[in-house]
Amino acid sequence: MAKKKRTPAQAARKAKMTAKDRKTLASLVGMADGVTKSAKRGRAPHLEVPSRSLSNVKFNQSRKIIEMGAASNRRELFNLSQAKTYMQTMLVGRGCKELIEQGKTTSIRGMYYLLKHTIEGTHEETFDDQADCDPVIEDVEVTLNALREELHVYASNRGSMVGNITLVDNGDEIDCSRMGSGGYAIPSIVEPEIMQFVKCTADFILHVEKDTVWRRFNEDKFWKEHNCILTHGNGQPPRGVRRLLYRMHNELKLPVYCLLDNDPWGYYIYSVMKQGSINLAYESNRMAIPKAKYIGMRSRDFELCELNPSVTIKLSENDIKRANQIAKYPWFAKKKRWQKEIQKMLSNGFKLEVESLISKDISYVTQEYVPERLAKGDFLD
Amino acid sequence: MAKKKRTPAQAARKAKMTAKDRKTLASLVGMADGVTKSAKRGRAPHLEVPSRSLSNVKFNQSRKIIEMGAASNRRELFNLSQAKTYMQTMLVGRGCKELIEQGKTTSIRGMYYLLKHTIEGTHEETFDDQADCDPVIEDVEVTLNALREELHVYASNRGSMVGNITLVDNGDEIDCSRMGSGGYAIPSIVEPEIMQFVKCTADFILHVEKDTVWRRFNEDKFWKEHNCILTHGNGQPPRGVRRLLYRMHNELKLPVYCLLDNDPWGYYIYSVMKQGSINLAYESNRMAIPKAKYIGMRSRDFELCELNPSVTIKLSENDIKRANQIAKYPWFAKKKRWQKEIQKMLSNGFKLEVESLISKDISYVTQEYVPERLAKGDFLD
């Protein structure tokens, strides 16, 4: 294990820790100190873990983001039903501490392997499988109020970026206007310690749902003509993409426009980008972009763009159910235009993918659809 | 449709076509000319479509790649059971022609939308769904002996690259040793017309299966220390990654080492990278790398690396079935060391992911496992 290996080189690395690393490390050590303190006082060690259940999530009307409430659950060592999770929580804390001290990062799968072992003298495993470990990582995040990235655990990295921005990623300067056809692969850790913005002349960000649509825009040099930054998240954007959009929106004052499918999944992606997600409510603060605009696809586009009926896709039972759920989200419920949008999709009885615009012309979406809506300021909010 | 829009600008683009574009276009036009020729001679128009079935695939023992045989199927217009597919084939040909003439590319989904319409005066759709269109695209590829990329249709792009190589992608010079933590997103079209190698000082290529493992190697600057290029394909590498590895291997004379999981899926990925796949047998020629080496994980590593039993994953019924199938592949069947490898996994009764090495140390894989095997030349072939 790593402990045997703490060499002078590692000590040097430790010295190179960022201010944020030191802060996170202090929280982790504080968590451990709690145990010894309790023990010395003859009390049962416990943790207060903020509750991540739906009932502890609320929509903050003034900030327009989903936030966690104040409820928490006590996790005790000397409680038969909680002892294992308690120890797992401490174990994850130890894993994060090692990562920070070594200046390394890993995936949630890596964390699982890092901590998995058979407890000495028993047949008991620390974690039976990864599903056992993942929620504990989230528990540590909320307990310490630290982003996963601050714990040196990264999420998947999907998503690319291209456009008029130059940034430094891990010491390398990257000019996103010279990234060829592939673009810059957005990493999952985009915190200011790792990534700094050097220069940005772009006027806005166009975020599209899919890689394939992104490529049409990149091939047509849309970002050059319209002076923007072009991103995609391969479906629901992962944390790295959301966090990067958040940073560019707030630090560089760039408006964010979202081009997503006209289906419940597209609506949901917009909802998460704008208000945050229920599951990651504790991170809305650093990821949600309440001012993000929805540029399309819209339910009206079938008629407006004179699309052929053959490019429509019939709504499934599940689509209808999801659409009705989404319509009731507090952040959509009071918005007449969104209600109309969702009702229109339901009465259409079909959904429309952004790619369906190809049936008009291969570059209709880049040359007419988006430019017209940008020029008119025609989007949903 | 695009035809209405052929403007002077498009004519100019047409003039900018590459030599390969002209060749592909000539094949497409030739396919259409066949129809008029037949009609003028009073014969029924037909196409000869090379058969993509398993029975028409064979392993070329001297070239060490999977190749297509000579069998083909006749596809006739005046045959009730073939008429629709015949017309779909011509339609895909038309779509590709439009793309090439416009100097644009699209995804298989884009192609589907480009061609989907209700046939005038009927309720018949050109394609009912995408599953209807995809095999026809592959038919056109084999019929014209043109790579999908040459038809201007791209596959998904997953996979990243970092290391001591500088290339030009679509006119932009990209130094892969200065790509930060995210790396260069390998595009799906990497043909010489789009991508040129400018400078490469690397000694070899290390290809790893997963994004997460790739990040460990990148974070540890393995490619700097060992002067190599580091790639991943997010599982089974997509065409773009395979084609790029092929080009770097052949044009830059770089050996390719594969770090994959010790499970039937890892074996299969290696098999496809090395010999080609049955489904894309017609592309082995331009993608298979018969000299690629398998550096691990190996079945012996459980003992050799003294791993904790808790990091093993029990083989499923399906794993056992797949392992036995793979052992019988002609390109594995005669290799004693591969037979031993597969038998050892079966007798172990478990599989091992590369990430399981994290249980030794977070950087064990980059600092000990791979360097030791590279130094000793210890791999499977």
Residues A57-103 have pLDDT tens digits of 899 999 999 999 999 999 999 999 999 999 999 999 999 999 999 99
Q: What does the alpha-carbon distance between residue A126 and residue B47 come to, in Å, rounded to a whole number?
A: 62
The 10s digit of each residue's pLDDT in A294-345 is: 999 999 999 999 999 989 999 999 999 999 999 999 889 999 999 999 999 9
pLDDT surpasses 90 at A292: yes
Note whether A362 contacts B157, CB cutoff 8 Å.
no
A179 to chain B, any CB pair closer than 8 A? The answer is: yes
Residue type, B353: E
Given A113, A184, A294, A329, which residue is catalytic? A113
Searching chain A, which residue's CA lies closest to the CA of residue B215? A106
Per-chain mean pLDDT for chain A: 92
Question: Percent of chain A beyond pLDDT 70?
Answer: 96
B231-259 average pLDDT score:
96
pLDDT band at B182 (very low <50, low <70, confident <90, very high): confident
pLDDT of residue B9: 52
Instruction: List Cα–Cα distances, A140 to A4, A77, A94, B204, B225, in angstroms.
Output: 25, 16, 11, 41, 35
Note whether A362 contacts B98, CB cutoff 8 Å.
yes
Per-chain mean pLDDT for chain B: 92
pLDDT of residue A149: 87
pLDDT surpasses 50 at B2: no
A186-198 average pLDDT score:
91
pLDDT of residue B123: 85
Distance, in angstroms, between A280 CA and closest chain B CA? 22
CATH class of the domain comprising A2-154: mainly alpha
Size of interface A-B (CB pairs under 8 A): 169
As given in the structure block, the two tokens for residue B53 are 């079935």
Q: Which of A105, A156, A220 comes nearest B211 by C-beta?
A: A156
For an interface test with A, the pick among B169, B184, B362 (most A C-beta atoms closer than 10 Å) comes out as B362
- Name residues 129-168 of chain A within 8 A of B (Cβ): 154, 156-157, 160, 168
pLDDT surpasses 80 at B12: no
The 10s digit of each residue's pLDDT in B310-359 is: 999 999 999 999 999 999 998 899 999 999 999 999 999 999 999 999 99
pLDDT band at B16 (very low <50, low <70, confident <90, very high): confident
Strand positions, DSSP E, B10-89: 46-50, 57-60, 65-68, 72-76
Instruction: Please say whether the beta carbons of B208 and B354 come within 8 A.
Output: yes
Q: Domain limits of chain A?
A: 2-154, 160-376
pLDDT surpasses 50 at A1: no
- Domain range A160-376, its CATH number among 3.40.1360.10, 3.90.1520.10, 2.60.40.1180, 3.40.50.300: 3.40.1360.10
pLDDT of residue B14: 58
Note whether A116 contacts B170, CB cutoff 8 Å.
no
Q: Is B2-44+79-154 a CATH 1.10.260.40 domain?
A: no
Helix (H, G, I), strand (E, B) or coil at A293: strand
Searching chain B, which residue's CA lies closest to the CA of residue A169? B180
pLDDT surpasses 50 at A22: yes
Note whether A116 contacts B310, CB cutoff 8 Å.
yes
pLDDT surpasses 90 at B155: no
Which residues of A are less than 8 Å from B216 in CB distance? Answer: 106, 110
Q: What does the alpha-carbon distance between residue A141 and residue A138 come to, in Å, rounded to a whole number?
A: 5
Question: Percent of chain B beyond pLDDT 70?
Answer: 96
Note whether A110 contacts B216, CB cutoff 8 Å.
yes
pLDDT of residue B1: 41
Q: Which residue would you say has higher pLDDT here, B249 or A20?
A: B249
B229-247 average pLDDT score:
95
Note whether B180 contacts A195, CB cutoff 8 Å.
yes
Which residues of A are less than 8 Å from B2 in CB distance? Answer: 361-362
DSSP letter assigned to residue A158: -
pLDDT of residue A15: 54
pLDDT of residue B17: 87
Note whether B105 contacts A189, CB cutoff 8 Å.
no
Q: What does the alpha-carbon distance between residue B118 and residue B125 come to, in Å, rounded to a whole number?
A: 4
Q: How do beta strands B106-107 and A184-185 pair? A: unpaired
| Distant-in-sequence, close-in-space partners of A176: CB < 8 Å, separation ≥ 6 | A161, A162, A163, A164, A165, A166, A167, A183, A184, A229
A113 tagged catalytic? yes
Instruction: Please say whether the beta carbons of A168 and A196 come within 8 A.
Output: yes
Note whether A98 contacts B5, CB cutoff 8 Å.
no
Q: What does the alpha-carbon distance between residue B189 and residue B280 come to, in Å, rounded to a whole number?
A: 16
Strand positions, DSSP E, chain B: 46-50, 57-60, 65-68, 72-76, 106-107, 153-154, 160-163, 165-169, 172-175, 184-185, 195-200, 204-208, 228-232, 256-259, 293-296, 313-314, 350-351
CA dihedral A164, A166, A169, A171 (to 10 degrees): 160
- Name residues 189-248 of chain B within 8 A of A (Cβ): 189, 194-195, 211-212, 215-216, 219-220
Distance, in angstroms, between A359 CA and closest chain B CA? 5
A239-266 average pLDDT score:
97
Instruction: Print burial letters for B17-51: b (CB count within 10 Å at least 16), e (below 16).
Output: beebbeebbebbeebeeeeeeeeeeeeebbbebbb
Distance, in angstroms, between A285 CA and closest chain B CA? 24
